[in-house]
């Protein structure tokens, strides 16, 4: 086995070396459309091969608990995507392309090149690796001992003792002064690198990776959800003695969720998944989706989609536990798997590369199928009263989730405008502005968020994904009557979203599919 792994790694390395030599030769006369196209060809080949092997190793780690090559391929991807000659060939290269297909390939690959190029610098790389070591820990110190993150989050959401909930939240939101300083330093170093390249800040350099109307998106989502959120907050205040805290939110609605949890025992969840997707028109048994399911209560619940080779080899690994949350995670993961299995694109990049907003939006759509009254009644056999109580609770938690997305998106935007300020104070200013909940400046929740390291500037994509899911759900309910026992849903999703993969920008697909401009007002429409 080790010999086979070594030979595989050697073959990939040789292939990449040859590819790099071809690219260097092709780039000897820089500045032409042909050079940009050849660079994209070379980069796409390498990206496809590495992501294929990374997916295989990810699967092995998730199913066996260990992979001796995953870290190698992750480093290889950063190294290949961040090569200086690749960056030089692609920088400002989109204007030299006259093919719509090449422009789309550029839009998918260049943001990855930008991030890898900057983060591979001799100064930033050691710092980023040091931060990765912290984020790789799946535990925090709580009650004087190491405890899994999932168990601590469970205390925040479910413990009846308010002091315990606060202590658990503090355990999750506390970072060492050294770690917080390091993450702030990463913001500054990325900005400095961007300025050396002629941009005002890192956010402007990576502008092709985010929407041009980033701030408008934040403001529009804020406006669309503010009134409903404030109304919910007033209701929460009336149910708690004193001002509500962020650790009170989930617990306030615990009874409604507990009532629903009983309808989704662990041994029924896969049955419900097969029945649900079959009723939506997707025959899971006929699709190349492979499942690895465990039911280990000693480890955190999760559900993950691993796309090894779309549309031919898609895998779902999940650890299931009793309750609605596990059911919902599984539905979202299988929804992503179905999307990958229904892709119809000859170009492997369009089948494999992710338009993050659309990908997250599809996952949210299928996870939110579980919220629909018709689905809860069909599969959970819940009464109208239980469905109504659960709907109110789920809506309130979703509103807080969206407001916290606004906090992170606005914080990251402002942090790159001026990373020399006190970032912790900046975070709590944003937190107070969008949630109207008390500040706790002795804590640093932002420093516990791995997204600022590994997926910078994607918090806007999270907001976009919420809009995509809500607008798609509204359209489906209005035009097809619901998402339970409705096989027409498959035709709509495949024809308008899935078959294209990443071939077209998400906004174009959503507007064409739903017949209207993208609007955050769908976030509160139902």
Q: Please tell me the distance from the alpha carbon of residue 96 to that of residue 111, in angstroms, as a whole number.
A: 17
Residue 136 is predicted with a pLDDT of 85
The residue among 46, 47, 48 whose CA lies nearest residue 22 is 46
What digits encode the pLDDT tens for the residues 413-454?
Answer: 999 999 999 999 999 999 999 999 999 999 999 999 999 998
Of all residues in the chain, the percent with pLDDT exceeding 90 is 74
Residue 127 is predicted with a pLDDT of 93
The residue among 229, 233, 247 whose CA lies nearest residue 153 is 247
Residue 32 is predicted with a pLDDT of 62
Residue 1 is predicted with a pLDDT of 46
pTM over 0.85: yes
Average pLDDT, the chain: 90
What digits encode the pLDDT tens for the residues 27-71?
Answer: 433 446 668 999 999 999 999 999 999 999 999 999 999 999 999
Q: Is 69:5 a contact under the CB 8 Å cutoff?
A: yes
Residue recorded with tokens 């000859």: 346
Is a pLDDT exceeding 50 seen at residue 20?
no
Compute the CA torsion angle 140, 142, 147, 153 (nearest 10 deg): -80
Q: Please tell me the distance from the alpha carbon of residue 284 to that of residue 175, in angstroms, as a whole number.
A: 43
Confidence of residue 214 (pLDDT cuts 50, 70, 90): confident
DSSP run (H or E) holding 235: helix 214-239
What digits encode the pLDDT tens for the residues 335-358?
Answer: 999 999 999 999 999 998 888 999
What digits encode the pLDDT tens for the residues 310-319?
Answer: 999 999 999 9
Is a pLDDT exceeding 90 seen at residue 391?
yes
Q: Give the DSSP letter of residue 504.
A: S
Which range is most confident: 80-94, 141-155, 489-503? 489-503
Q: Please tell me the distance from the alpha carbon of residue 107 to that of residue 101, in angstroms, as a whole number.
A: 10
What digits encode the pLDDT tens for the residues 69-122?
Answer: 999 999 999 999 999 999 999 988 999 998 999 999 999 999 889 889 988 887
């Amino acid at each position: 086995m080790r010999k086979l792994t070594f030979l595989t790694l050697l073959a990939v390395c040789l292939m990449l070396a040859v590819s790099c030599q071809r690219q260097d030769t092709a780039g000897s006369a820089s500045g032409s459309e042909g050079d940009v196209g050849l660079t994209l060809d070379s980069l796409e080949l390498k990206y496809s091969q590495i992501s294929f092997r990374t997916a295989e190793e990810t699967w092995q780690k998730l199913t066996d608990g260990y992979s001796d090559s995953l870290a190698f391929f992750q480093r290889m991807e950063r190294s290949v995507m961040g090569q200086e000659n690749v960056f030089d060939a692609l920088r400002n290269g989109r204007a030299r392309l006259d093919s719509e297909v090449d422009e789309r390939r550029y839009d998918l690959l260049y943001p990855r090149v930008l991030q890898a190029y900057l983060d591979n610098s001799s100064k930033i790389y050691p710092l980023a690796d040091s931060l990765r070591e912290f984020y790789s820990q799946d535990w925090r110190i709580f009650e004087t001992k190491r405890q899994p993150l999932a168990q601590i989050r469970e205390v925040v959401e479910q413990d009846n003792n308010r002091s315990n909930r606060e202590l658990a939240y503090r355990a999750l939101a506390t970072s060492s002064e050294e770690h917080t300083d390091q993450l702030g330093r990463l913001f500054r170093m990325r900005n400095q690198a961007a300025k050396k390249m002629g941009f005002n800040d890192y956010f402007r350099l990576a502008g092709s990776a985010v929407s041009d109307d980033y701030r408008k998106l934040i403001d529009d989502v804020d406006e669309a959800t503010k009134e409903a959120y404030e109304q919910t907050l007033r209701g929460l205040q009336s149910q708690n003695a004193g001002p509500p805290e962020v650790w009170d939110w989930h617990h306030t609605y615990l009874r409604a969720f507990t009532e629903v949890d009983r309808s989704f025992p662990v041994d029924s969840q896969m049955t419900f998944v097969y029945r649900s997707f079959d009723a939506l028109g997707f025959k899971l048994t006929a699709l190349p989706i492979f499942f690895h399911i465990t039911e280990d209560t000693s480890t955190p619940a999760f559900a993950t989609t691993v796309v090894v080779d779309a549309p031919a080899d898609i895998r779902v690994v999940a650890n299931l536990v009793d309750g609605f949350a596990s059911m919902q995670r599984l539905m979202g993961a299988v929804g992503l798997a179905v999307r990958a299995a229904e892709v119809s694109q000859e170009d492997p990049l369009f089948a494999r590369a992710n338009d993050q907003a659309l990908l997250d939006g599809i996952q949210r759509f299928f996870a939110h199928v579980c919220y629909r009254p018709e689905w809860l009644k069909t599969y959970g056999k819940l009464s109208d009263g239980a469905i109504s109580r659960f709907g109110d609770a789920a809506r309130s938690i979703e509103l807080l989730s969206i407001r916290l997305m606004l906090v992170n998106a606005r914080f990251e935007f402002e942090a790159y405008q001026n990373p020399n300020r006190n970032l912790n104070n900046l975070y709590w200013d944003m937190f107070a502005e969008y949630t109207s909940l008390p500040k706790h400046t002795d804590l640093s929740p932002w420093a516990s968020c791995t997204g600022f390291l590994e997926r910078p500037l994607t918090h806007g994509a999270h907001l976009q994904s919420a809009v995509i899911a809500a607008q798609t759900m509204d359209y489906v309910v209005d035009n097809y009557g619901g998402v339970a026992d409705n096989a027409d849903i498959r035709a709509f999703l495949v024809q308008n979203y899935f078959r294209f993969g990443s071939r077209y920008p998400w906004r174009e697909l959503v507007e064409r599919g739903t017949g209207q401009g993208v609007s955050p007002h769908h976030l509160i429409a139902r």
